[in-house]
Structure 1
Amino acid sequence: MSRNKGKSRDTADPAIGLEPNPFQGMRRKLLVALGVATLTPFLFVLVVGHAAYTNAVRTGSMETMRRIVEDHGRMIETYLRERRADLELLLDFEAHGELADTDVLTDRLQWLRRSCRAFVDLGYIDEQGRQVAYAGPHSLAGKDYSQAEWFQATLTKGVHISDVFLGYRNEPHFVVAVARKVGEQTAVLRATMDPHEFSGMVERIRMGSTGEAWILDAHGRYQTEPRSGAALLSQARVPEQALHPGRGIHVLEAAGEDGTDYLYCAAWINNGKWLLVARQEKNDAFAHLQEAASWIAAIFLLGGLIISVLAFTISGRLELALTRVFHEKEGLRDHLYRAARLAEIGEMTTGIAHEINNPLQVMKSDLSYMEMVMTDMVEKGTLQEGEDCAEVRTSMEQLRLQISRCAKITQSILQFGRQGDSVVQDVELRAYLPEVLGMVEEKAAVRGIALELETPPHPVFVRADPGQLQQVVLNLLNNALHAVEEHHPDGGGKVVVLCGPGEKGMVDIEVRDNGCGISPENMERIFAPFFTTKPVGKGTGLGLSVCHGIVGRMGGNMDVRSQPGRGTRFTVRLPRPQKG
């Protein structure tokens, strides 16, 4: 259907009273609404899920670190107990005085080193603190340890593990010492432990790629060497909270001496004398959080993109559908307006036809009177027959013919437009159809369209209202003439009307043309109200819908077959009269 390209249906047209499209620009509003309605809960779920996951990962990482430190502390405690047990075993099974022999002591040191390389030397010390025998790399035989803190603690408790100190050798080390009664005297067996070997064992903690562990004494001095680098016995620079964790195992977050954020975990070992400290960079400990954050960002971007595309598509379709409904509503109002105008024109046409019919009757009467007067004058001899008289008679005959023709047209209009209830009766199509075709034969002739009627040799009756049947056939003929004229503007068009018996007690009336045909997509809506393929002002879209309803009320049906570019065939099926 053509449209005025100079005007948009989305804006008001004061000439026909169209309203502005209220759905114009709704796509943006729908897009925003759908975006907010979908992205908000989506983002909320992601944020809440990330927060829950973060909390779970943080808690899990801290619990894992606490468990690792706890297990590592047990391993160190076991290691120290084993070293103490080694010394107790030597004292318990050696005969009196054998360990006071340097050669025997050296042999026992070699035996101990085979099980633990951390043993540096052995010393056998009497009750007065004098080292009676010594086996090791230093010259410490005869040294007096009576005033050494570790010696006094060993005599008091029977066993002692010292902090790291310098001693006579002036290098960091710590000792494991045990005391036993040998006869009337108390003997002390002391073993010096290599702090570097011990540090290697402490360092074997596994916490990511940045995890490390070390041991501090009660004053915060390094007892083992941390991986990050610090000298033994140097003061540790760790958070105050880590140095005083209290009882149990404590995990905290704090910045290190280099400004890096760490997770610290501390636990007391060696009967509360040493503090085992482990730390790991937060980025390493919470690496899963960064990975999860990356995944969440990717999911949000991908989900947001999918939601945006869906929202854009759905909003576009909604706006298009609403705009289509609006245009259909406006078109319906336009069609109703035109249909009302046509109804008014029809009423006016009926009135005009009635008014014209009265002068025609007068003219017909006067023409008859003129013929009677002329005949009387000829008979009386006052008017001589001749060429002039013959021309007058010919003119009067032509006037009578034209008056009859005009009267026939007005009578057809009055019959077509008369109001009242439907009167169904027997209609003989062989006599009825020529009258209907006569109403459009002049139009067909002017347009160069051949109009043909094919009827069977015997009478064909149908049960129908003559006026309504005339409306149906005229509508089909006018549509056929329009289609043929459009497809054959230079002539060659043809419209054929046929009638004859059909199936199941019906009679078929066919209107065929070789016009432009109907496209397949329009075939589904051909009988829909207000559907038309004609330009604006050339059709209302009501004709076929009304005809379909009329035929249905008369007990018949209609169908259509068409091939685009070749022509169309409408078939009206009406019931035959019942035999009485």
Structure 2
Amino acid sequence: MNENTARLSPYYRSLTRNMVLLVMVISLTPMVLVTGIILNQFSASHHEKIHAHLGELVLKHKQNIDGFLSEKLHNIRFLADTIDVDQCGQPNMIEGQLARLQGAYGPVFVDLGVISEQGLQVAYSGPFKLEQARYTDADWFKRALESRDFTSDVFLGLRGTPHFIIATQKSCQDQKWIIRATIDFLEFNRLVEKVRIGETGFAYILNREGQFQTKPLFDFTPDLDIYNRYFSNLERMGKEVEIQERLDGKGVKSIYVSALLKGGDWLLVYKQAYSDAFSDLRNAQTVDVLFFLFGGLAVVGMAIWMSAKMVGRIATADKEKEIMNEQVIETGKLASVGELAAGIAHEINNPVAIMVEEAGWLQDLMEDGAFKSEADIKEFERALNQIRTQGKRCKEITHKLLSFARKTDSRIEDCEIGHLIEEVVALSAQRAKYSKVDVVTRLEPKLPAISASNSELQQVFLNLINNAMDAMDKTGGTLEISAKQESGHIVIGVSDDGPGIPKANLARIFDPFFTTKPVGSGTGLGLSICYGIIHKMGGEITVKSALGVGTTFEIRIPVKTDEPTENVAVSVTDTHS
């Protein structure tokens, strides 16, 4: 069978498909597992790396912002310690202090003022007209009176622009004075705007009321409940930085990194889209998937090529095996013919002897000249008819023998079991007579046809009949052959009342070259050939035997159907009388 035939055969197509699947599973499973484990470990490692990097970034900027606020507060504290409140009313006194601050630290200090305990700003220096401004009702002023140092939230105030105030107390002449400075909001906001990574990462500051203390890069409304939980978690767990992954208000998965500022009054939040933060991971995963796909395609291609190659070789081996099996069957058939030869020769010898005798009688009549009378002519006609009859008989015998002995024809066609059994019984009749074996047939009439090879079925029946006769050769006996329909099968039984088969040999009787006959009397292939033929037809062959009782072979062949059966079952039973 060549590769083209293998591709056309459903069996070899199925075999190729199964081999491809097996090779793919064996090859791809470790690849999938290893790739999955590596990607999972890489993903976990990259997550930890990103989280650690963002946590360190936010912590660093928290320290920078807290350091900035603390530095400005210390600047004002130092100024408060050196300023003489009694001289605050002198012209240019405050202007000089503000000028020194701006000269040392830049425009971050917008203005400077001194406020009495009653809320009146007694001295002011700055770009706004806030001299004699009253802050009695201002919330920041009330809180500044309650603590030595105070930093307010960002608010609009009297000037109408976002700003926040750093203030410190100074006691003089049994009275509290508040020295305060306004911090440039833009300078402070730029400090927070520096926290930028990727395309979507940005930072902002909120107070406990959920109000922005800096201008965020993107406009959105903060969820107060969520940010209150950030405040609570950081305080409760004592953590410097907390990292969470959740959906934002637009349903985009994002990373939130938060830290407390200004003694817990403010919350520094860094937000970045998850896809942006883990873009390197996604790119690496994409590359890995592409490599996996290319590798998988290479494995699939190799599996298909190797499977097709192997199936082609299997098909060739099967073809060679099929040819060898046909040769074995042919050899077995010739051996069976050899076993029948003595009986058939005797059967042919009888009519030949009659023909010779009749021919001699005709010759004698011709020599005596007795061919003119009517009686002589009738004698001639009788002798010729006898010769013709015996010739036909020889012809039938040789035709049956030649029909059986010709090369095996394994073509599948419709077969009539009854007719085949009768032909084989007729071939074995003379040997049965010599072996003192009575052959009894019990054939159910009108058995349905089966799909099989006529010559191969003949071989099976002849092997079983010859084996039975061999078993009863010395003692004679009865050989019964039956055929009937049962449960969608035709059941053929070949039973003898010979000595039976020992239990130790039952399990091996279908093995090739196994025989219990004397050396030179058998090849051990007969039953093996029977098994192979019945197996190929999708049938079943079983044997039951008991010593001193006899042996029965039973063959079950499915009746003709559209779907052939490929499996065969062989069972061996030892029956004790």
- TM-score, normalised relative to structure 2: 0.51
* Aligned mates of 1:10, 1:105 — CA distance in 2: 104
Written as runs of structure 1 = structure 2, the 5 A alignment for 1:253-272 is 253-272=245-264
Q: Return the match for 1:242 from 219, 223, 227.
A: 227
- 2:112 is paired with a residue whose SS is strand
Match of 1:31 among 17, 20, 26: 20
Task: Kindly indicate whether the alpha-carbon contact (under 8 Å) linking 2:255 and 2:273 is maintained by their aligned counterparts in 1.
Answer: yes
Q: How many residues align?
A: 329
Mark the CA change 1:166 to 1:337 in structure 2 (over 3 Å): closer, same or farther.
closer
Is 1:147 aligned with 2:128? no
Displacement of 1:96 in angstroms is 5.4
- 3-state SS of paired residue (2:56): helix
Q: Helix, strand or coil for the counterpart of 2:259?
A: strand
Structure showing the higher helix proportion among its residues = 2
Instruction: Check if 1:87 corresponds to 2:44.
Output: no
Relative to 1, partners in 2 of residues 1:329 and 1:49: Cα closer, same or farther, differing over 3 Å? Answer: same
8 Å contact 1:21–1:323 — kept in the other structure?
no
1:136 to 2:126 alignment: yes
8 Å Cα contact 1:242/1:252 also seen in 2: no
The percent of aligned pairs where both chains have the same amino acid is 29
Alpha-carbon distance in 2 for matches of 1:220, 1:102: 42
Closer/same/farther in 2, CA of residues 102 and 322 from structure 1, 3 Å limit: farther
Offset, 1:57: 2.8
Contact 2:19/2:307 (<8 A) preserved: yes
Decide whether the 8 Å contact of 2:15 with 2:311 is kept in 1.
yes
Match of 1:66 in 2: 55
Query: Is the alpha carbon distance of 1:107 and 1:189 closer, same or farther for their aligned partners in structure 2, counting shifts above 3 Å?
Result: same
User: Which residue matches 1:110?
Assistant: 99
Q: Give the match for residue 54 of structure 1.
A: 43
Q: Distance in 1 between matches of 2:126 and 2:150?
A: 20
The change in CA–CA distance for 1:239 and 1:55 in structure 2 (over 3 A counts) is farther
Question: What is aligned with 1:45?
Answer: 34
- Aligned pairs for 1:9-28 (under 5 A) are 25-28=14-17
> What's the offset of the Cα at 1:76?
0.7
Superposition map of 1:14-413 within 5 A: 25-95=14-84, 97-114=86-103, 115-229=105-219, 236-238=221-223, 240-245=225-230, 246=232, 247=235, 248=239, 249-332=241-324
CA distance in 2, matches of 1:204, 1:93: 34
Asked if structure 2 preserves the Cα contact closer than 8 Å seen for 1:195 and 1:223, the reply is no
| One-letter code aligned to 1:177 | A
Taking the aligned partners of 1:145 and 1:133, their CA distance within structure 2 comes to: 13
Question: Structure 1: which amino acid aligns with 2:168?
Answer: V
Task: Give the Cα–Cα distance (whole angstroms) in 2 for the partners of residues 329 and 9 of structure 1.
Answer: 16
Distance in 2, matches of 1:24 and 1:300, equals: 28
Q: State the 1:343 CA deviation.
A: 12
Q: Could you give the per-residue CA deviations for residues 292-328 of structure 1, whole angstroms, max 9, x where no partner exists?
A: 3312320221111111122122212221332333344
Describe the shift of the 1:163–1:10 C-alpha distance in structure 2 as closer, same or farther (beyond 3 A).
closer
Match of 1:549 in 2: none
Q: Give 2:287's aligned amino acid.
A: W
Change (3 A) 1:21 1:112: closer
**Amino acid paired to 1:238:** D
Deviations 1:52-84 (CA, angstroms, capped at 9, x unpaired):
333333343233322222221111100000100
Paired residues for 1:414-563 under 5 Å: none
Q: 1:86 and 1:186 mapped to 2: Cα distance?
A: 19
Task: Give me the whole-angstrom Cα distance separating, in 2, the residues matched to 1:8 and 1:137.
Answer: 97
User: Is the CA contact 2:209–2:224 (under 8 Å) kept in the aligned structure 1?
Assistant: no
Q: What CA deviation, in whole Å up to 9, does each residue of 1:219-253 have, x standing for no partner? A: 101111001136xxxxx423732342122333223
Aligned-residue Cα RMSD (Å) equals 3.4
Question: Equivalents in 1 of 2:59, 2:4: separation in Å?
Answer: 80
TM-score by length of 1: 0.51
Deviations 1:1-51 (A, max 9, x none): xx9x9x99869xxxxxxxx99756522220111112222332233334333
Matches of 1:9 and 1:255, distance apart in 2: 61
Provide closer, same or farther for how the CA distance between residues 10 and 156 of structure 1 changes in structure 2, counting only shifts above 3 A. Answer: closer
Paired residues of 2:88 and 2:122 also in contact (CA < 8 A): no
User: 2:205 touches 2:212 (CA, 8 Å); kept in 1?
Assistant: yes
Q: Secondary structure at the match of 1:300?
A: helix
Amino acid at match of 1:269: L
Supply the distance in 2 between the matched residues of 1:216 and 1:200 (Cα, whole angstroms).
16
CA spacing shift, 1:112–1:70, aligned 2, 3 Å = same
Distance 1:35 1:76, change over 3 A: same
Gaps of 5+ in 1: 12-19, 231-235, 349-580
The amino acid that maps onto 1:310 is M
- CA–CA distance in structure 1, aligned partners of residues 211 and 5 of structure 2: 88
Bigger CA drift: 118-127 or 245-254? 245-254
After superposition, what is the alpha-carbon deviation per residue over 1:106-165, rounded to whole angstroms, capped at 9, x for unaligned?
A: 222222223142211100123332211111111111122233332232232111000112
Residue 102 of structure 1 contacts residue 135 of structure 1 at CA under 8 Å; is this kept in 2?
Answer: no
CA distance in 1, matches of 2:143, 2:226: 30
Task: Give the Cα separation in 2 of the matches to 1:136 and 1:337.
Answer: 120
In 2, the alpha carbon distance for the partners of 1:151 and 1:8 equals: 98
Question: Does the CA-based 8 Å contact 1:242-1:265 persist in structure 2?
Answer: no
**Using a 3 Å threshold, how does the CA distance of structure 1 residues 43 and 166 change in structure 2: closer, same or farther?**
same
Deviations 1:493-526 (A, max 9, x none): xxxxxxxxxxxxxxxxxxxxxxxxxxxxxxxxxx
Name which of structure 1's ranges 34-43 and 275-284 shifts more when overlaid on structure 2: 34-43
Contact 2:119–2:141 (CA under 8 A) maintained in structure 1: yes
Q: Which amino acid aligns with 1:26?
A: L
Quickly say closer, same or farther: Cα 1:326–1:100, change in 2 above 3 A: farther
Question: How big is the shift at 1:273?
Answer: 1.1
Aligned equivalents of 2:152, 2:71: Cα separation in 1: 15
Q: Distance in 2 between matches of 1:76 and 1:290?
A: 33
* In 1: Cα distance, 2:4 partner to 2:158 partner: 106
